[in-house]
Structure 1
Amino acid sequence: MPPRSAPGRGTGPRGGPRGRGRGGGAARESTRVDSPSIAASVSTVGVKRSGTGTAGRKIAVRVNAFETTVQEGFIYHYDVDIIPSTLPVRMNMLLIKQLQAEVARNVFTPPVPYDGRKNMYASRELPLGPNGSSQFDVSVFASASAGGRPPKVYQIKVTKVAVINPEILQRFIQGEQSQDNNVSTALMALNVAIRMAPNQKYPFNTRSFFTEDGKRPLRGGIELWRGYFQSIRPSMGKMIINLDISTGLMYKPGPLIGLCLDFFGKNDPNILSPKRGLPDRERLRLQRFISNIRITTSHGPSGRAQTRVVRKLSSAGASGQKFTMRESGEISVADYFRVHARKTLKFPDLLCVEVGSGALLPLELCDVPPGQIMRKQVPPHLTKDVVEFSTMKPIDRFESIKKGLQVLSYGQSEYVRQFGMNVNDKMIELTARVLDPPTLKYGQGSKRATVVWIISSLYGLCIDSSLLETCQWIMEHYNFGRADKKFFRPSVIKKWVIVVYEGQRRFTQDVAQQMATSFVAGARAVGMTVQDDQPVITWENGQGRIGDQLKKAGQTCVQQKGEGPNLIVVILPDGGDDIYTAVKHFGDVTMGVATQCLLAKKCYRANAQYWANVMLKVNVKLDGINSVPDLPSLTDPAHPTIIMGADVIHPAPGTEGRPSFTALVASVDTTVSKYVAMSRVQTGRQEMIDDLEDMCKEGLTKWQAYRAAVEKNTQKPARLFFYRGIANSRCQMCANVAPDGVSEGQFQQVLDLGACAAFKIAPKITLVVVGKRHHIRMCPVNPGDADRSGNCPAGTTIDAGLGHPTEFDYYQQSHGGLLGTSRPAHYSVIYDENNLSADAMQAMSFALTHVYARATRSVSIPAPVYYADIVCSRAKNHYNPAGNLHLSDSATHTEATSDLQAFKQAFVPLNPKQSGLMYFM
């Protein structure tokens, strides 16, 4: 049996100085290779690093990583087969602990690390017999078994599958060894070793464990715990442990009734009674929340606490839920516990929980043990609380990480000592470079048509409507929105309507008229043309048929103005999320009319800066362009360039039967500032993009059509830059994964041999993976190098001393800090026919973070990746809100369908009128 990691990849089809692929350069087992030319034969998944950048001013930074040594002896890899194979990780860990401590101490002394599933690692060969395999019978301790019944016996088979020489890790970090299965297995072994001790003491998930220190109770039956993420990974010339702060959502411990009441925010237990009016929908919502939670009950004859797992809730209360007993016939749950367990229920009308065995237990007889991780999405109304708890200034975060190192006590872990790891307790310090910001171009009428984007430590980025009023344009000393700066290409508002969903008592006719006047003034201030000063204004009921209401407003516009609107402005009340979704579906997707939603409380007597920010969105929705980068290497007309961005969004944790949504955006203009978008539906939680080739063809079609019709240019694209956003960066501790979960060779077939060949074009292709959710953080060593938030300034780039030992990757923090510790993006260059230098690649990516249309600052990732992420999240707008498919995160398991074809058939394609516009802004 091979080690559990991704299979090796063959050499890619493209040649040149940056040819790639896994080859035969890997040394295996104890084979030693001393040839000084081995580095030349090392194959990589991505582009080989040919050098580091030199541009920008240098600053010293500290990263949340610690250098560590590794053992010189062999690592023995064992397969663990537990029957039954469907047990949760927690149970598997208990069984292995019992196996090593009690059943086979002679084999497992000292105990060895285990990952909770299939893999066990040892620094010595275990005495498992001549075949390297043994089977053991293990039972859980009696207190965990059902009262009166003997403990259940589980079969565990342990088999040796590989022997790894960790010397390959030393060669790998020195750039003398290709990454293969042995390297990946050795890294997995070390990661399991450092996590084993804390996982035995604390609640844990895949890579983090959590402690009660500083925990905070929330509403909704949830409490927040602090945690620590840890991961061993190879870097340039050294092995490091990446240590970071994490946040865990835990179920509130105590009586299960209390948890259920807290979920609803109520105090009266009778609200949990179907007989007393608990709606079935609310019961299903509660069921989704507590499904798979562990509870304890002590109602049995022995009086000992027994652990059970909640599967679902009964449809009736304990007094109304009946079942048949062989001896006495039909009996209610409440009567059963009164007669047979001598437990008279205080609340007999309350729901029961059905546990894994099928038994029904009244809520009041169940308790929730502490430290249970809630593996479901954070409820929207609690997101703000979670963010506040998780947000820490850089200096506080790094101090907490130092304390975490003491909590971990690597030197005291017998598992860590077995593998010869010696962890340096000083954080790694590196030299980073702060790149100069790009120059941006603006429209005619600006005091300066070309200005330098000033990176100011006083202001942050604006990526959310809730932050609009705090954002500012910092272009020298001018404010955007006055008469000094105009859009590069302002759009035209021909006829428009305002549909108000706030009550007319709050949002009166005078307020609406004042808002319309301010809207017009704001549009004209940035150079936009408004042909109609007096829009149609209507008030509607948000509980009505949104589609019909929007059509009615459009028809009124036709009757009064002679033509339909090209913009619908919608005023929303607080909590108008459902109205927003319906407006986007019926307005943008179905009718093909641009919509702009505004919160009533935000636009009421809003200032000029607010309207300037609103116009950032409106202008691009109506085919305008806000600003363009003045970067000849990117916008050279002699070398036409198309930039694509792709992303995937998966169903929320805890939901079943939902699809994933994919998106691709593509630039269509010479300035790479205007984008079109394509969206698709595919199998849930699949990272590979099924329809990538078709979407690329559609993007190329629109690129050619726009350039021919608008720019009067029929040149073929000479360069194609493809950015693939991925939640977890191509982590060096596992086998590297190219975008879409396919290898670079497969990608070349999809994009080059498929889409490009169909158009008879052959652009030089560069493919970059952008890791958005990793745990590397950086902090300036010198406080004078920090921005106002304490973070590194925008443009801070690390490509030396941290990153893959051989491949072309780097970390870049491209946005200014607002709250907490900023996260840099991790760029991995997978494929590069354009042969870009480190400076050129980093400057291009940094420039693309400045053209995000609805922000007033540079953002954290390149605009095309950001756009693709938005399009994915807006995919639910393509479904009729009145349809049968429920896509809200609060929908229950029973409401969801597992029929992928049903989701595909119900997906309403975008109206052709909007397909060439940035409707998603």
Structure 2
Amino acid sequence: MSGGNYRGRGGARGGARGGRGGARGGRGDSRGGRGGGRGGRGGRGGRGGFGGGFDASDAQVIKPEYNFKPEYESEVTQPDPLPKIQDLIVAEEKERKPEDPYQLVRRPGFGSVGIKTKVGTNYLKYQITGMSFWYYNVTFQSEINTKKKMKQDLLEILLNKSPFQGLKSKISHNGSDALYSSAPLPISKEDEKVRFDFEPEEYRGVISSTVLTTLKSSGKKKGNSADEDPQVYCTVEFIHKLNMDDLNNWVQINDKKNIEPNAYISALNVVLGYQISNCSNVFMAGKSRFFFVDHPEKCQSFQKGLYIASGYYASVLPSFDNVMINIRPVAGAFIKSHNKDGSPMSVADLIADYFGETDLRKVSSNEIMSQKWFFKGIKIQRTYLGHKSKPKGIFDISKSETANNYKFDCDGKQTSVAQYFESKYNFKLKYGDAPLVHLGGSNYVPMEACMILPGQEFKGEITDVKGVLSFSTHRPHVIAGLVQQDGVKKLTSSINPEESKRIGTKLVVVPSRVLSAPVLEYKNAKIIFTEKQADGKSEKAKGSWDLINKQFYEPVKGVKKLTVLVLENTRRPLRGEEKSDIEAACNEFVAEVGKHGVMFNKKFAIKAVSYDRVENLTREIVSIMKPLQASTDYVLTILNQKEKAIYAAVKTALDRDLGILNQCTIGNKFARRKFGKFDIQMYALMSMKTCIKLGGANHVLSSADVGKLVVNGLPALLLGADVTHPTNNSNGTSIAAVVGSVDAKFNSFPGSISVQQQKQETIQEMSKMCVERILAYQKSVGELPQTVLFYRDGVSLGQFNIILDEEVTAVKNSFSVVANRLGVKFDPKLTFITLLKSHNTRFFPLETNAKNEADKMVAVAAQENILPGSVVEKGVTSRSLYDFFLQSQQALQGTAIPGHYYVLYDENKWTPDELQKVTYNLCNVFGRATKSVRVVPPAYYADLLCERATCFVQGAVVGRNQNPVDAIKKAMGSGINKNVSGRMIYI
């Protein structure tokens, strides 16, 4: 039995409630949370305590049904690229400059190990032979150059001016600074900038009054009259002709002509995207995402004020021997713009719909005020003006001014907004007592006169994640059918008919190999996957197992002292029955984790932590736990609700301020009984985190599957790195992390964190953090590593060269720093690999079984997906770089997303087979899961550590005159407390 108490500490006011929605949540209720995300009334806060909550006012999403049958090309046959790649390497070596010590690795060969099969892809061939584009650069005045929407609108106006108008059907633009024409324009003189002026009647309604004032001021300095309209112009300069035959030769490595392929690919993508998005029924949302919405009112309602729509991602990509188009179904949430009868929706209609009403008069002003964050920023049209005007964003919703009570001087007499609209625009208001919409400056307009601009994607937090998944998650054969039978037709029908003929009609097929699963070891068991023919069950076991009757490979040493913290809000203290349930659940948890190898003293303290506001929670935990620190090895914190701010406060107190190993769980799940029993399986899975944090090892690779990771008894040093750019981050900083292995079983990966300026492409303190990881390895292993294998997450295709130049250089520099510090020779061989997670490539199984190396038919697919261990390195991979796709996990729902790995630097010279197998094997030993994972663990761990570090600076504010990095570093404090810096606190 536990020997604790529930006295705790705390203040007097209920902080977790959040009133009527707080800054970003919903209305909540007297015991609710802050709402969660942008969920409107109730959000995800539920009824507080340990209860859950569901906001019934959100529409239930119905999963769409599709019955398309995809068609595939015959298997891709391409010439062997290796001889050409070798010639390329020789040519590049001759041109290498002394100041360029590192070169991107070219493909050394292909793998051969595994069951050979073929898979479909979401790619189609794109025939670009004979295509050409003339590329022009457009420059606007400096006052306009940073205004994206203004430039986009001005470019459209430009195309209606001479000499562009007659060639308009041949011209595309990127909305910023580039024109591409399939025919030369009559200004094509190199190095000559031709000026084009915009007339006031052209730019009025496009350029904001603020920018016009600035332009006027600039004109006055040049001697223009104060009453004169400002000059607005741009210059157009011919840059060069892009002959796509040059790109064709480049992908085929047919000649040594040095071209910049990105310029050609960008041109193809701009032209494709511009033509598609110019169709009247197409919304372009983000980069290369197109939504075909003929009737928004017929789309499914979603979260309050939103509808959900389906569309397609489409992008041109080069591969060896081919240029292709990658197409994938996507889903997007949009602001409602039409009523159910198809009529345009006003802001008044939208607000009523948001609150589940049909009449705005049924919604109180207080309710509107509590949720106005949702409406701020939405673009509206002022159709009452009777002419086309620039869409305006909602700046605010007035708290007290209405159309009836807000008066202003008009022709010498006081006139209300309602009277003005009736006399000026013959617009009689229905909701004269509704708050006015503030459009900036002195511009206050009635809600019902502001019409929602169609096609606005919602940028806030999606709270109905289940609804999104239901709508957008499909099995591979469905995605393949959507792409080939629906997506291609919609996309090609939107572009020039002659150009559409260049796009293939069948999906590309590529060769694949399926690697064998590694043997995993527990203390008393082994996980061995036996290859056999698919039977609907056995193939699902690859990369998936359980903890039943299994003891961890290395149990936690000794009996540990546990303290349980139970969070409660002062406005909603725990009831007696809840306390009893928690105590019983804790005893059950201690018993269950003990079966797997984590022994806690059966007498443990349970302490209540009462808090009034989340901002005070860290201080409350520190005050309670500081006296208990010497008698506590581990803290289990039972959260009263799932809220990021609460979780961050707990982790800040225990990981940063005190340095006590800990983990969190949600009370309503932890203490929930089903048929009178607690969730033992949940406790078993929790024990995996507990074991690793306390220094144990859960499951490990067999010695045979460790492969080249251990040479002569010395393990390689595995490093992982990532950078997190927090969403909605206004403090101008990012957090970087590097983790590193410290044992021969590749089980423990403590890490280092750093703060840096936001939007920087590289990790600024890479060398420093690598030094820390190398020294931690040496302290644990007793020697310095001879082999370093580095997995870098969060890198895009266009960043490879800068990563090579700066980060690989920094890692190599860390070796020199360690050598100098220790006075030894130290120069291990480095292999540096980047991982792309956010890509749009998907694979579809074309066979259920295939012959293995013993000529027996065995499964190569499971749950309608390709099998874990599937590797693709031909057909849709890079022209000559060293890359491969690896599908390493089972897809429980939908379609599996493979990892895309690029080897940027390689001194170890492992073969493709060796590197692919090592990467796949590591995906099976992610510390807290009984499944193989999609992302190789060192990179995955770095991502988790970045997330943990963001907890330490939750709510930090940067002063007006403060350097953001210095301010956030100060808020971060010492970061990971030295008491726990050698452990995986983040897992």
**Normalising TM by the smaller chain, what interval?**
0.7 to 0.9
Match of 1:398 in 2: 480
Q: Please list the CA deviations of residues 800-857 of structure 1 after superposition, one character each: whole Å capped at 9, or x if unmatched.
A: 2221111110101111111111110100000001011100110111112112111111
Equivalent pair of 2:126/2:322 in contact (CA under 8 Å)? yes
C-alpha deviation, 1:230, in angstroms: 1.1
Q: Which amino acid aligns with 1:120?
A: L
Alignment equivalent of 1:373, drawn from 454, 457, 480: 457
Within 5 Å, give how 1:74-473 maps onto structure 2.
74-83=132-141, 85-86=144-145, 92-101=151-160, 103-105=162-164, 108=167, 110-128=169-187, 130=189, 133-138=193-198, 145=205, 155-176=233-254, 182-201=260-279, 202-204=282-284, 205-212=286-293, 215-253=299-337, 254-263=345-354, 269=360, 276=366, 282=370, 286-287=372-373, 289-300=374-385, 303-304=386-387, 306-310=389-393, 312-319=395-402, 328=412, 337=421, 345-348=429-432, 350-355=434-439, 359-374=443-458, 376-379=459-462, 381-408=463-490, 410=492, 413-414=495-496, 417=499, 422-443=502-523, 446=524, 448=525, 450-452=526-528
1:648 maps to 723
CA deviations 1:771-797 (Å, max 9, x no partner) are: 000000001012455644311110110
User: Is this contact kept in 1: 2:402–2:436, CA < 8 A?
Assistant: no
In structure 2, C-alpha distance between the alignment counterparts of 1:423 and 1:901, rounded to whole Å: 52
Match of 2:554 in 1: 488
- Rounded Cα–Cα distance in structure 2 between residues aligned with 1:35 and 1:48: 7
Deviations 1:559-601 (A, max 9, x none): xxxx521111122234444322221111222111122212223
Give the CA RMSD over aligned residues. 3.8
| CA distance 1:485–1:497, shift in 2 (3 Å) | closer
- Deviation of 1:389 after TM superposition, in Å, equals 1.9
Q: Give the distance between the partners of 2:664 and 2:86, measured in 1 at CA.
A: 64
Does structure 1 residue 613 correspond to structure 2 residue 675? Answer: no
* Residue from 785, 793, 800 that aligns with 2:874: 800
- Structure 1 CA distance for aligned equivalents of residues 439 and 283 of structure 2: 22
Distance in 2 (alpha carbons) for counterparts of 1:82 and 1:354: 30
Unmatched segments (≥5 aa) in structure 1: 1-33, 462-469, 708-712, 731-735, 887-893
Equivalence for 1:40: 90
Deviations 1:400-433 (A, max 9, x none): 111344434538732863xx97122111111100
1:239 Cα deviation after fit: 1.2
Give the structure 2 partner of residue 24 of structure 1.
Answer: none
Q: Distance in 2 between matches of 1:525 and 1:679?
A: 35
Alignment check: 8 A CA contact 2:770 2:814 kept: no
- Return 5+ residue gaps in structure 2 as ranges: 1-83, 94-101, 210-227, 338-344, 821-825, 850-858
Q: CA deviation at 1:388?
A: 2.4
CA distance in 1, matches of 2:557, 2:447: 61
TM score, norm. by length of structure 1: 0.82
- Deviation, structure 1 residue 871: 1.5
User: How far apart, in 1, do the equivalents of 2:618 and 2:731 lie?
Assistant: 28
Q: Distance in 2 between matches of 1:795 and 1:688?
A: 31
Cα offsets for 1:158-180 (capped at 9, x unmatched): 21012233333223212346796
Q: What is the identity, as a one-letter code, of the residue corresponding to 1:615?
A: S
Q: What secondary structure sits across from 2:167 in the alignment? A: coil
Alpha-carbon distance in 2 for matches of 1:353, 1:817: 47
Q: Is 1:752 paired with 2:818?
A: no
CA distance in 2, matches of 1:538, 1:35: 65
- In the alignment, is the contact (CA less than 8 A) between 1:322 and 1:333 conserved in 2? yes
Give the Å deviation of 1:113. Answer: 2.0
| Change over 3 Å in CA distance of 1:792–1:920 after alignment to 2 | same
Deviates more, 1:513-522 or 1:826-835: 513-522
Judged with a 3 Å threshold, the aligned counterparts in structure 2 of structure 1 residues 580 and 885 are, in CA distance, closer, same or farther, namely farther
Report the more deviating stretch, 746-755 or 618-627. Answer: 746-755
Note the C-alpha offset of 1:349.
5.2
Distance of aligned partners of 1:365 and 1:85 in 2 relative to their CA distance in 1, 3 Å threshold: same
CA distance 1:506–1:392, shift in 2 (3 Å) = farther
1:534 pairs, out of 598, 603, 616, with 603
Q: What amino acid maps onto 1:609 in structure 2?
A: Q
What residue identity is the alignment partner of 1:652? T
Q: What is the match of residue 788 of structure 2?
A: 720
Alpha-carbon offset, residue 752 of structure 1:
0.8
Partner of 2:655: 588
Give aligned-pair identity as a percent.
Answer: 23
Distance 1:199 1:487, change over 3 A: same
The alignment partner of 1:85 has SS state of helix
Structure 1 pair 685–225 and aligned structure 2 pair: CA distance change class (3 A): farther
- Spell out, residue by residue over 1:127-165, the C-alpha distance to the aligned partner (whole angstroms, 9 max, x if none): 11656553334569989959xx99999534321012233
Q: CA deviation at 1:745?
A: 2.9
Aligned counterpart, 2:583: 513
Hey, what does 2:799 align to over in structure 1? 737
Q: Give 1:884 deviation, angstroms.
A: 5.0
Please say if 1:67 is aligned against 2:125.
yes
Aligned counterparts of 1:334 and 1:506: Cα–Cα separation in 2: 57
Indicate yes or no: 2:593 matched with 1:523: yes
Given residue 238 of structure 1, which amino acid in structure 2 is its aligned partner? N
Q: Residue 60 of structure 1 aligns to a residue in which SS?
A: strand
Distance change in 2, residues 1:358/1:164 (3 Å): farther
1:565 to 620, 623, 632: 632
SS of the equivalent of 2:652 reads helix
Secondary structure, aligned partner of 1:210: strand
- Flag the 1:657–1:745 CA change in 2: closer, same or farther, 3 A: closer
The alpha-carbon deviation at position 95 of structure 1 amounts to 4.2
Matching of residue 694 in structure 1 with residue 694 in structure 2: no
Pick which of 328-337 and 114-123 moved more: 328-337
Q: 1:748 to 1:870 in 2, by over 3 A?
A: closer
Partners of 1:113 and 1:404 lie apart in 2 by 25
CA distance in 1, matches of 2:692, 2:567: 25
- Give the match's secondary structure for 2:610: coil
Change (3 A) 1:699 1:323: farther
Alpha-carbon shift at residue 473 of structure 1 (Å):
8.6
What is the aligned partner in structure 1 of residue 48 from structure 2?
A: none
Aligned in 2, Cα 1:333/1:677: closer, same or farther, shift over 3 Å?
A: farther
| C-alpha deviation, 1:105, in angstroms | 4.9
Which amino acid letter does the alignment assign opposite residue 693 of structure 2?
K
Distance 1:341 1:880 in 2: 49
Q: Distance in 2 between matches of 1:837 and 1:177?
A: 28
The one-letter code of the counterpart of 1:537 is I
Query: Partner of 1:467 in structure 2?
Result: none
Q: 1:159 to 1:851 in 2, by over 3 A?
A: same
Q: How many residues align?
A: 830
Structure 1 838/416 Cα, relative in aligned 2: closer, same or farther at 3 Å? farther
Please state how far the C-alpha of 1:645 moved relative to its aligned partner. 0.7
Query: What does residue 14 of structure 1 align with?
Result: none
Distance in 2 separating the partners of 1:752 and 1:821? 39
Are the counterparts in 1 of residues 755 and 969 from structure 2 also a CA contact under 8 Å? yes
